[in-house]
Amino acid sequence: MTTTKGPGTEYAGRPDPIGRSDAAGGPDDAGRLSLAQILEIFAGGRLPLRFTAYDGSSAGPPDAALGIELLTPRGTTYLATGRGDLGLARAYIAGDLEVHGVHPGDPYELLAALADELVFKLPPPRVMAHVVRSIGVEHLRPIAPPPQEVPPRWRRVAEGLRHSKSRDAEAIHHHYDVSNTFYEWVLGPSMTYTCACYPNLEASLDEAQENKYRLVFEKLRLKPGDRLLDVGCGWGGMVRYAARRGVRAIGVTLSEEQTTWAQRAIAHEGLGELAEVRFGDYRDIRETGFDAVSSIGLLEHIGVKNYASYFRFLQSRLRQGGLLLNHCITRPDNTSQASARGFIDRYVFPDGELTGSGRIIREAQDVGFEVLHEENLRDHYALTLRDWCANLVAHWDEAVAEVGLPTAKVWGLYMAGSRLAFETGGIQLHQVLAVKPDEHGGNGGLPLRPWWVS
């Protein structure tokens, strides 16, 4: 959301804040800076919104439509001790910081304003020393985070090594077993928690999710009587879509809540002879000879170091000439560090890892897949998140009653921030289509050009 420049950066304009300030609430009798003054120092005097604090100080345009209010000393400690976006998230989720001018279910406009206009810079050492004295040593000692936060990666050893079956199960439980009722309000009737594909800008969320399943189905050239394996199947949307069209589909998920919901939906639609959703790890699937495998939103949880074994396993489940469709969030380059950090890792996707589409394609090719096609749907994911946030706002009171205010705020912050990241290209969504060739390099007689409707 903000950019921090390293030590030695020249103080970003405005008169020396020691002894004076344009922010309401100047230094006290002991010469300590107010909280508003401290924020102005780091923001170089350029605040795009109104800031107020419990010490009576304020900064930023008085008539600003957007605002942040720091309510408690504990919030100061969170802000001072949390790296990156983690301190802000802790203070907000714990209720020590309030936002104004946006709904907590969709704080997109506030996050966009911060991202567009706020650049944090470290002041010269003399000013920084004054800031530290003004904050007080007591606020520089870390305190317990909100209970919604998971421990850092190095402390998660109790759940096993990263991406072991036990630790993957715990990570999936943290994110996907929140509440089926909560997800129904956010995701809508489709109960699909992956990027939709909008046929036009006027399409509804449900129309776009149905269109996404159609696109995957057509890319995989599925037809009645075929067999589909859907790994990381969520609430079974792809499984049920395929079964309605005569395909025998098996889905697998590590979420018990998703499994229960999906099995009930299969029974309700009378699809039991063709559709099945299992609770378990995809690595425990024993059947082979599938005509197609779909992986929609699972690779983010696999771990980059495990890509080779992941693609090798999926290849082993396919018949020769069988197709794989991998749909996942990616980084816009292939050089960034894969591990997620800060708010996303501690509150949303523990152990999640993203890399570029080039790395994904390389790993698939290196185990023997022939990559046929790939496309980027990042603009579609921004629209999807927009609509999920709208659903959360519409059902805010019910959502808070179901999962509690802190968890509901986590979701509003996460989805609005992710929307902004997709819009600005910070993250992307790629679909990669690949085939398992036979021993002679044959691809099962695929058409010469793409055979699906985009």
Q: What is the mean pLDDT of residues 394-421?
A: 96
- Of the pLDDT bands very low, low, confident and very high (cuts 50, 70, 90), residue 23 is low
**Residue 15: per-residue pLDDT:** 37
Cross-strand partners of 353: 339
- Of the pLDDT bands very low, low, confident and very high (cuts 50, 70, 90), residue 27 is low
Q: Which residue is it, tokens 């590590």?
A: 254
| Residue 85 or 333, more confident | 333
**Residue 336: per-residue pLDDT:** 87
Angle between helices 378-394 and 396-403 (to 10 degrees): 80
**Residue 85: per-residue pLDDT:** 87
User: Does position 379 have pLDDT exceeding 80, yes or no?
Assistant: yes
Structure tokens belonging to residue 32: 């300590």
d(CA 50, CA 48) in angstroms, rounded, equals 7
Classify strands 428-435 and 318-330 as parallel, antiparallel or unpaired.
antiparallel
Percentages helix, strand, coil for the chain, rounded to the nearest 5? 45, 15, 40
CATH no. for 165-435: 3.40.50.150
Domain with CATH 3.40.50.150 in the chain: 165-435
CB atoms within 10 A of CB 114: 20
Structure tokens belonging to residue 217: 């189905």
Highest mean pLDDT among 72-86, 111-125, 275-289: 275-289
SS3 145: coil
User: Does position 302 have pLDDT exceeding 70, yes or no?
Assistant: yes
> Of 175-184, 287-296, 349-358, where does mean pLDDT reach its minimum?
175-184
Q: What is the mean pLDDT of residues 159-173?
A: 51
Residues in the chain: 454
User: Does position 415 have pLDDT exceeding 80, yes or no?
Assistant: yes
> Of 16-30, 73-87, 199-213, 358-372, where does mean pLDDT reach its minimum?
16-30
Q: What is the mean pLDDT of residues 233-255?
A: 97
- Of the pLDDT bands very low, low, confident and very high (cuts 50, 70, 90), residue 160 is low
pLDDT above 70 coverage of the chain, percent? 87
**Residue 337: per-residue pLDDT:** 81
The structure's pTM equals 0.89
Q: What is the mean pLDDT of residues 296-316?
A: 96
**Residue 8: per-residue pLDDT:** 34
313 burial level (CB within 10 Å; 0-12, 13-18, 19+): middle
